[in-house]
Amino acid sequence: MALDHPQLRKLAIVPAYNEQGMVGRVVREIRRHAPDFDVVVVDDGSTDETATEAEDSGAIVLRHPFNTGIGGAMQSGFKYALRHSYDVAAQVDGDGQHKPAHLHDLLAKLKTTGQEADMVCGSRFRGDPGYKVPLGRRVGNLIFSVVLTVICRQRISDPTSGFRMTNRRGIELFARDYPHDYPEVEAILMLHAHRLRIHEVPVRMNARGFGRSSIDYPQSAYYMAKVLLALFVGLFRRRPIPVDESADQPGGRPLAPGATVSQASGEPKAR
C-alpha cells in the first residue's frame, strides 16, 4: 500500500470464489510480474481459506458475506478502484487462468494509444491461445464474437475473456453499473453503448485449473441461449448513467433519452 505511484495508480482486481491454493499464487505472480500494480482480491463469499490466503500473500481483500457472482465481485473491485482514485484497473481471475506477465502488454495498449482505448481485452484468438481451448468453448466464443463484431463494427475476437484492463472512464462506468450474470460478454456491449473504445491484444492463457469452469458441455447450450438473450436485452436496457457524460464526441447518441435525468445532477465530477 505504501508503494510509490509517480504517474498512474494501477490496480489489479482478482475475483475469487473458493480458490484456496490458487489465489495466493496469483497474487504473488502479479506482484512479481507487475509490481507497480496494487492487488485487491474480492473474496466472493468463499467457504474456504481464500481470504486468509490472499491476505497472507499481501493483497488487500474485500470479503463479500455471501456469493454474489462474478459480476458482483468485479463491481466491488471497480468501486474500490473508484473510491481510491485508481487510474487503471485490470481483472485477473483468481483461478490462475490469466498470466500476470501480460499485464504490461495490456497497459501498453491502454497507454500508448492515449485516450484511444478505454478498455484493452486480452484475446486468446489473435495468436497462440497458450493452451488447447476446448471445442465447445471455441464454438460458443465464436458465436458471441460474430454477434459482438457486428454490433460494435470492430473485431471482437475473444468476448468471453475476463483478462481486461480499463482506464478511469471504464472504472467510473463499471462502478455504477456492471452486468451481473454474464458480465464479460455484456460489458463489451455496455462499453460500446457508452461509446468507450475497445482494443484487443493477443495473450496466452493457462488452461483453467480446478475451480469453476463456468461452461460445461451439458450446460453450454443453455448458457449460450441465456447470454444471447442477455445481450439482446442489454441492447435495450435502460442505463443508470447518462450516455453523453462519458462520451466526449458530438456524435454520442443517448441510448435511452431522458431515462436517467434525475441522476445526472448528483453525478460527481470526474477527476
Partner 1 sequence: MSTAVSWLPFAATQLDGRIRVAAVVVTALLVGVVLELVRRRRLVERYALLWMLVSVALLVFAIWNQLLASAADLLHIAVPANFLFIAAFGVAFVLLLHFSIATSRLSEETRVLAQEVARLDEELRAMRAAGANGHGAAAEGMEQPARGGRPQPGDPSSFSTTDQ
Given the complex with partner 1, which of 54 and 201 has the nearer CB atom? 54
Which residue is it, cell 473504445?
Answer: 197
Buried b (16+ CB within 10 A) or exposed e, 11-38: bbbbbbbbbbebbbebbebbbeebebbb
Q: Alpha-carbon dihedral of residues 227, 235, 161, 228, nearest 10 degrees?
A: 20
d(CA 212, CA 209): 9
Separation of alpha carbons 26 and 11, rounded Å: 14
Q: Which is nearer to partner 1, 85 or 206 (CB)?
A: 85
Nearest to partner 1 of 74, 107 (CB atom): 74
DSSP label of 206: P
Which residues are at the interface with partner 1 (CB under 8 A)? Answer: 1-2, 42, 45, 60-66, 68, 72, 75-76, 78-80, 82-85, 175-177, 180, 237-241, 260, 263, 266-268
- Closest CB to partner 1 among 99 and 194? 194
**Closer to partner 1 by Cβ: residue 63 or 138:** 63
Cβ-proximal residues to 72 (8 Å cutoff; 6+ apart), any chain: 44, 64, 178, 180
**Amino acid (one-letter) located at 264:** A
Beta strands in the chain (DSSP E): 10-16, 37-44, 60-64, 88-91, 119-123, 164-166, 198-202
**In the complex, minimum distance from the CB of residue 88 to partner 1, in angstroms, rounded to a whole number:** 18
Nearer to partner 1, 78 or 125 (CB): 78
Q: Which residue has the cell 484468438?
A: 125
Q: How far is the CB of 108 from partner 1 (least distance, A)?
A: 28
